[in-house]
Amino acid sequence: MTSRNPDPKPGRWVLPLNIVGMVGFTYFFVQQLPGAAPEDTTTTTSETTTTTETTNGGDGTTSTTAPSIPDEVQAYVDKMAGSLAELAGIEADLLDVNTQQDASPRVIVYADALALFREVEVNSSVFADGVEIAAPPAGYETLATIHADLATAAGKIRTAGRDARVGFEGPEAQPRRDAVAAFQAASAEFSAAYDAMVNAALATAGPDA
């Protein structure tokens, strides 16, 4: 066995930070949907006030509001965004320990690798439980359908996380590698369903009251 690697998880935060950036951009995009531009108006600006003059000669100030999705839908989007970031961290951990296990010469001792595979297994199960219980708000059939897809992918992630640990403890390397590949495929499936969920949430947007 080799000596303990002082940093058994190099680069573990690169993928999570990329995902968090994507999630942040999505949230900003949802909040900043542009409102429709007013028609047949001209705007004059002084040092202190802005006045909109309509084409019929009347004077007055107007304001526009950007469409926004309902609060309960936004709360659901935020929850799933958090789950996506959580998944990115778990996947990064799994890929790190798997890479170190396959390195030649090996750069991680068995006990450390087993602890990391067990951590991935536990975190994958917690992640899947959280997705499955985070039901979308009632009355949005498209979101409900997409949530079923998210939950299905999350269940596959739970299974792959367990299989990676079981495969690591077995005598052959291939079952572990197959489990890691299955985890990545399920993660991509979850991300695709998340993108569909964001688009469906945007479709619920309407003007503020």
107-120 burial: b if 16+ Cβ within 10 Å, else e: bbbeebbbebbbbb
Say what the pLDDT of residue 80 is.
98
Same-domain check for residues 43 and 94: no
Collapsing DSSP states into helix, strand and coil, what is residue 50?
strand
Residues of the chain with pLDDT under 70: 1-66, 207-209
* 185 domain residue, yes or no: yes
Are residues 110 and 61 located together in one domain of the fold? no
- Whole-number pLDDT of residue 96: 98
Contact 84, 25 (CB under 8 A): no
Closest to 36 (Cα-Cα) out of 81, 62, 67, 11: 67
Q: Which range marks the domain in which residue 58 is found? A: 39-66
Give the pLDDT score at 87. Answer: 98
Residue 23 lies in a domain: yes
CA proximity to 173, closest of 109, 113, 110, 98:
98
Q: Residue 51 has what pLDDT? A: 37
Domain count, the chain: 2
Same domain membership, residue 89 and residue 23: yes
Do 55 and 97 fall within a single domain?
Answer: no
Q: Are residues 47 and 121 in the same domain?
A: no
